[in-house]
Amino acid sequence: MPSYVITGVNRGIGYAFLQNLSSNPANTIVGLVRNVADTEAKIAEWKTPNIHLLPFDLRDPESLQKAAAATSKITSGSLDWLIANAGLIPEWSSYDPLSVLGRDAARLTQELNECFSTNVVGQVHLFNAFMPLILKGEVKKVLTLSSGLADTEVAAKYKLYEGAPYSISKAAMNMVTSKYQAEFADKGVLFLGICPGPVNTGQYEHITEEDRKKLMHRAEKFEAYAPGNKGLSEPDDAVKDVLRVAENASLANGDGGAYLSHFGTKRWL
């Protein structure tokens, strides 16, 4: 009866994780969301008794401690999988390079800080809150949704200046994964950062014409990196890919602290 904590299950990839993993009645799923009532209403028709929704906010460490204590009561003090899915993908800084963003220094500072506090600091507090449960689990896997945009060499080689605050925070998060792996390898815990590939979670539905042109320019760079790449995937498919990679990964195979794509390699597209 594996137990899972998944963050940010109300929409996007987290919602697809919730749907996929709760479809096996043997799994116990704890989904962390900012708005429990809205999410309950959204999944009411599923009628899956193995889902428990709890409130949290990555910017509020106390909420993470409370969520861990409430999870412990549901799972009898242990946890097999922690899936750190929730994250901030800001819009404003998605398309322009840092020097252009820097023309509005205050806004850039704000976006850098928000990305760091949500995508890095929040995850550290999340891991700390749930580690006592993971250490008592059987599977002992901690998975973070990373991004190919955090690959420093690819960013430089393919001139991927877009989304810098987000990319910087995801690159920092890869180091968080390494630091936890360094601390907990001897206790049998596997930490992984896996990129789901580009996934359609509605992020481009309302963008301006000007931003769409910039998006096409980024797509040309993606094409140079991986000619013929299939572009956006759907969340269900991305989740299947990520779970396959995470399930196959192990400390014994040397995957501790790995930063991998949905293919299980360093090929991001």
Ligand X SMILES: NC(=O)c1ccc[n+]([C@@H]2O[C@H](COP(=O)([O-])OP(=O)(O)OC[C@H]3O[C@@H](n4cnc5c(N)ncnc54)[C@H](OP(=O)(O)O)[C@@H]3O)[C@@H](O)[C@H]2O)c1
Binding residues for ligand X (CB under 6 A): 8, 10-14, 34, 56-59, 85-89, 118, 145, 147, 195-196, 198-199, 201
Task: Kindly state the helix (H) or strand (E) to which residue 184 belongs, with its residue range.
Answer: helix 164-184
Buried/exposed 166-187: b ≥16 CB within 10 Å, e otherwise: bbbbbbbbbebbbebbeebeee
User: Which C-beta is closer to ligand X: that of 251 or that of 260?
Assistant: 260
The upper half-sphere exposure of residue 72, i.e. CA atoms within 13 Å in the direction of its Cβ, equals 15
User: Which C-beta is closer to ligand X: that of 74 or that of 89?
Assistant: 89
Query: Does 136 participate in catalysis according to the annotation?
Result: no
Which residue in the block uniquely carries the two structure tokens 């899915």?
85
Least distance in Å: CB of 229 to ligand X?
Answer: 13
Listed in sequence order, the residues at least 6 apart from 236 whose beta carbon sits closer than 8 Å to its beta carbon are 16, 19, 20
User: Which C-beta is closer to ligand X: that of 11 or that of 179?
Assistant: 11
User: Which C-beta is closer to ligand X: that of 114 or that of 135?
Assistant: 114
Measured CA to CA, the distance from residue 191 to residue 176 in angstroms comes to: 10
Among the listed residues 141, 161, 170, 259, the single catalytic one is 170
Least distance in Å: CB of 164 to ligand X?
Answer: 14
* Residue in 16, 15, 66 with CA at minimum distance from that of residue 240: 16
Least distance in Å: CB of 165 to ligand X?
Answer: 12
Least distance in Å: CB of 138 to ligand X?
Answer: 26
Q: Under a CB-based contact definition with an 8 Å cutoff, are residues 91 and 12 in contact?
A: no
Measured CA to CA, the distance from residue 226 to residue 166 in angstroms comes to: 22
Query: Does 166 participate in catalysis according to the annotation?
Result: yes
Among the listed residues 161, 166, 180, 259, the single catalytic one is 166
Q: Which residues are catalytic?
A: 166, 170
